Amino acid sequence: MKNYPNFKIVLTVFALMFLLISQSSFAQGTGKLKGSSAEERASFQTEWMKEKLHLDSVQVQKVKDINLKYALKNEPIMKSSDGKLAKFRQLKSNQNEKEAELKKVFSKEQFKQYEVIKDELQDKMKEKMRNQ
């Protein structure tokens, strides 16, 4: 697999999709968000962030709005018949935009913690992909 030139891209696509869809499912058991609506995913992500990052009530509302905006924006991409690379590029672009918005809402410490947790989830997903 190491000789496969797009392996890193495919792995990153799966890791990103995993993060977008099921950040909170790690805490609640995997598979709970499978087949869920954009609104449900946004709600789960918001609750996950509230718990893990200790958000205040003002932050929770802003994060909820951001999560819903991007869950709705990502849904047609994930359901499209586009290739994995095309989906990855669109989702990655949306994720970068979302993180820029979240960075404005989070404190510096919260954003650092968010990035640490995000990296841990990506590492777990990469490990899971390697073991399959």
Asked whether residue 40 is assigned to any structural domain, the reply reads yes
Asked whether residue 2 is assigned to any structural domain, the reply reads no
Asked whether residue 65 is assigned to any structural domain, the reply reads yes
**CB contact at 8 A, 59 and 105:** yes
For residue 78, what pLDDT is reported? 86
**What pTM did the predictor assign?**
0.75
Per run of 10 residues, the mean pLDDT along the chain (length 132 residues) is: 57 61 45 78 94 97 97 92 89 94 98 93 83 80
Distances in Å between the alpha carbon of 122 and those of 73, 81, 117, 126? 21, 24, 9, 6
Domain membership of residue 27 as a residue range: 7-130
For residue 36, what pLDDT is reported? 86
Closest CA to 105 of 72, 68, 70, 57: 57
The total of structural domains in the chain comes to: 1
For residue 19, what pLDDT is reported? 61
